[in-house]
Amino acid sequence: MQDREDREFLDELKLILDSSLSDEEKKERFLQFHVNDIAELLEALDSEGREKLYKILGNESIADVFSHADNVEELIGDLEPDKAADIIESMDADDAIDVLEELDEEQRQEIVSLMEPEAKEDIKNITKYDEDEIGSRMTNNYISILNTNSVKEAMKRVIKEAADNDNVSIIYVLDNENKLHGVVELRDLIIARQDTKLETITKQNYPFFRATELVSECLNEMKEYGLDSYAILDDEDHIVGVITSDDVTEAVDDELGDDYAKLAGLTEEEDINESAFQSVKKRIPWLIVLLVLGLVQSFSMTGFESVIAALPIIVFFQTLVLDMAGNAGTQSLAVTIRLISGTDDGKKRIFKSILKELRIGFFNGLILGVLSFSFVLLFLFITKQGVQVNSEFEISEAIRGASIVGISLITAMTVSSFVGALIPVVFLKIHVDPAVASGPFITTINDITALLIYYGMAMLLFQLV
C-alpha cells in the first residue's frame, strides 16, 4: 500500500473529529482505525484539537495511542500533570516506562508522584532490573489462572481479564504461591470441554527466563521458539511478568543498534537528542585506544626508512596490501562474532572455525597474491621502471619487486584472517563483548600486521637488513 494511500486516512480522521457527530459516535468511528493511525492524527493536531480528541477517546484509549506516538514529550506538555498521570497509569507498565523516560527528570517525578500506588509498584518492579537484564523488558500485560481452576472458571477469568490484558494467546497457570505451574494455550482452553481437567491441557515444560538473565543471551532462544510471549520468573519461580513478541522485536532492534554502535567503535549506542558532551563520553574511549594503535603504526614506519629510501616504488602498492588484509580480517571477524553470538553449539565449534578461517585466508591470499604479482610485474615491465632508486629496469629486480606484493598479500591475508577470528574469542574469554573488536579496532590491528609483513618482505628480498 503506497504510504497508506498518501496519508488520506489523516484527512478522514480530521473530518470525524470536526463532524457534528456526538462524542460517543466519534469514539466509535475512531476506534475502527488502528491505534497507530490515531497517534499520527494526535501528533498532527494543534493543542485545541488534541484536547478535543482526549475528551472523546478517554484515558484508556489515549493511553494506547501514547504507546504508539513518537513525540510523547510534546504531547505530555499539553496536559496538566494530573491528567498526564491518569493516562500514563492506564498504560502497560513497560509502555509507561518508555513514555516517562522521554520526559525530563522534574516532569517525570511530578507525574509519578500523582500516579496510583499500584501503577507505581508495577513500574518499580520493572525498573529495578538493569537495562541489559531481560526483566527490564518485561510487561505486566498477561493473563494468569490458578492450577486449581476448572476449565469453566479459567475461561471466565480469561474473558474478564481480556478487557485489560490483550496478550491472551498464552495463559499462565500459577499455583497458590504465585509460582509458575505451566501454560495453557488459548486455543486448547476454547476447545476443551467443561468437565476436562485443566491439568490435562496445561503444558509444564514451556520455556521461561529468569528476570536477571542478560537480554543478549535470551534473544537467540526466543527467536528459536517464536512464541507470542514468555514467562519471566524471579529466583523463587514466582512469575514477575512476561516478555511478548513485540518486546522481543524491540530488543533485537536495540541489540542491532548497539552492535552497530560497537562496529563504529562506540562504547554504546548514541541518542540523537543527547548533548555533545554525552556523545563525546561515548566515543572517546575507543578513539583513545585507536590513537595509541595509530601511533604504534606510525612509529613502526620509522623502522623502514631505509627500505622506503632504497625502494620508493613499493610505497605505491602499500595500500593494496593493507586494504586486502583489512578486508580479510573483517570477514573473519564477522563470521566468528556471528558464531559465538549464536547457540552454545556454535561456541563449541569456535576452534574449528578459527582453523577454517586460517585456511580460507591462505587460499584467498594465494589467489589474490598471484594476481597482484602478475599485475605489478606487468606494470613494471610496461613502464620500464627500476625497482631500486636510481636503477634501470631489470627483469630480475622487477620479479623480486612484484614478489614483495604477491607474497606479502598471501601472508598478510592469512594472518589477518586468523587474527580476525581469534580476537573476538580472546575478548569473550576476558568477558568483554566481542562486538567491540569490530570496525576500526580490527582494521588498525591488521594494518600494523600487514605493514610489518610488507616492509619486512621487502627487506628480506632485497637484503636491506
pLDDT (tens digit, 9 = 90+) per residue, 84-130? 888 888 888 888 888 888 788 888 888 888 888 888 888 888 888 88
Q: What is the mean pLDDT of the chain?
A: 82
208-210, strands of its sheet edge to edge: 208-210, 229-233, 239-244
What is the share, in percent, of the chain residues with pLDDT greater than 70? 87
Q: Which pLDDT belongs to residue 373? A: 93
Q: Which pLDDT belongs to residue 173? A: 92
Q: What is the largest CA-CA distance in the chain?
A: 101
Q: What is the pTM of this model?
A: 0.55
Bigger pLDDT: 391 vs 400:
400
Q: How many CB atoms are located within 10 Å of the residue 8 CB?
A: 10
Residue 257 pLDDT class (50, 70, 90 cuts): low
In whole angstroms, give the CA distance from residue 2 to residue 193: 46
Bigger pLDDT: 216 vs 138:
138
Residue 256 has pLDDT above 70, yes or no: no
Q: Are 421 and 333 in contact (CB under 8 A)?
A: yes
Q: Report pLDDT digits (tens) over 49-97.
A: 888 888 888 888 888 888 888 777 778 877 888 888 888 888 888 888 8
In whole angstroms, give the CA distance from residue 406 to residue 216: 42
Least confident stretch, 148-162, 163-177, 282-296: 282-296
Q: Which pLDDT belongs to residue 176? A: 85
CA distances 22 to 10, 16, 25, 55, 56, Å, are 20, 10, 5, 12, 9
Residue 348 pLDDT class (50, 70, 90 cuts): low
Q: Report pLDDT digits (tens) over 398-440.
A: 898 899 999 999 999 999 999 888 888 887 777 766 665 556 6
Residue 27 has pLDDT above 80, yes or no: yes
Residue 258 has pLDDT above 80, yes or no: no
Q: Are 241 and 135 in contact (CB under 8 A)?
A: yes
Q: Are 235 and 210 in contact (CB under 8 A)?
A: yes
Q: How many CB atoms are located within 10 Å of the residue 465 CB?
A: 8
Bigger pLDDT: 282 vs 235:
235
Q: Which pLDDT belongs to residue 338? A: 72
Residue 18 pLDDT class (50, 70, 90 cuts): confident
Residue 370 pLDDT class (50, 70, 90 cuts): very high
Q: Report pLDDT digits (tens) over 205-255.
A: 888 989 998 887 787 777 777 777 888 999 888 898 888 877 777 766 665
In whole angstroms, give the CA distance from residue 381 to residue 458: 19
In whole angstroms, give the CA distance from residue 215 to residue 442: 26
C-alpha of 181 from chain center: 32
Residue 163 has pLDDT above 80, yes or no: no
Q: Which pLDDT belongs to residue 268? A: 53
Domains of the chain: 3-128 (1.25.60.10), 144-263 (3.10.580.10), 276-461 (1.10.357.20)
Residue 270 pLDDT class (50, 70, 90 cuts): very low
Q: Which pLDDT belongs to residue 7? A: 64
C-alpha of 440 from chain center: 19
Query: How confident is the model over 372-397, as a mean pLDDT?
Result: 87
